[in-house]
Amino acid sequence: MLTVANLSKRFGGVHAVQDVSFTIPKGCVYSVIGPNGAGKTTLFNLISGLYTPTAGTIGFEGREIGGVAPDQLARLGMSRTFQNLQICRNLSAIDNVMVGAHLTLNSSMFAGMVRWPGLSRADRACRERAAALMERVGCGAFIKADAAAMPYGALKRLEIARALASDPKILFLDEPAAGLNHTETHGIQTLVADLARSGLTVVVVEHDMKLVMNVSDRILVLNYGRRLAEGTPAEIRENPDVIAAYLGADAEED
């Protein structure tokens, strides 16, 4: 589904991502891990169109997408969440999810002004689907709430619901468990596994190693912007280079 080849990104003299290559098959959970500053979010930003690559290629379903704008990528079937919540707190929770469905709506300014019946029906259908997505991700209790009144853990799920509203083929989750307690993290783990079982390809950047090891089919490890290792959870867990990068060179001997 996704092929990254020799991808690099420089910010002045800083090489944030250097010559990274990997492929992601359809329907899997693919995780990207690494120490702080390893280039994980920069990699996400390159793939999702927020940054233009300095070098290398990104292929999505056989189409080169390096430098393609985020709205164009959304139309191709790509959606994401962010490390720092991007919630419209002046909107209701359900309106936040409906914002993510704008690509599926077919309306004009004139139709909105005269409130044609077809537009009203489409709006009701969109609201019903948004409510169903909130139930699916586990924040259905807040369907009638304002986003500003929701707790942090529920907002993380709300952002996932909004990302799903565009009906993506591939979903990028940037640290979905950041700031969550143990119970909330386990819930996110269960949700990611459920999304993958439905056929959705999920790509995760995450620091919680228990979540990563439990939910991933394959894992990419970055260190100083470079690919350090790639493999199954079992292979990554036993990789001496990964152990050294996370725990220090002496950890391998221990």
Given a cut of 70, whether residue 129 has pLDDT beyond it is: yes
Return the higher-pLDDT residue of 45 and 249: 45
| pLDDT, tens digit, 9 for 90 and up, residues 165-186 | 999 999 999 999 999 999 999 9
pLDDT band at 106, cuts 50/70/90?
A: low
Domains and their CATH numbers in the chain: 1-77+168-254 (3.40.50.300), 88-167 (no CATH)
Return the higher-pLDDT residue of 215 and 122: 215
pTM above 0.85, yes or no: yes
| pLDDT, tens digit, 9 for 90 and up, residues 209-230 | 999 999 999 999 999 999 999 9
Given a cut of 60, whether residue 128 has pLDDT beyond it is: yes
Cβ 215 vs Cβ 232: under 8 Å: no
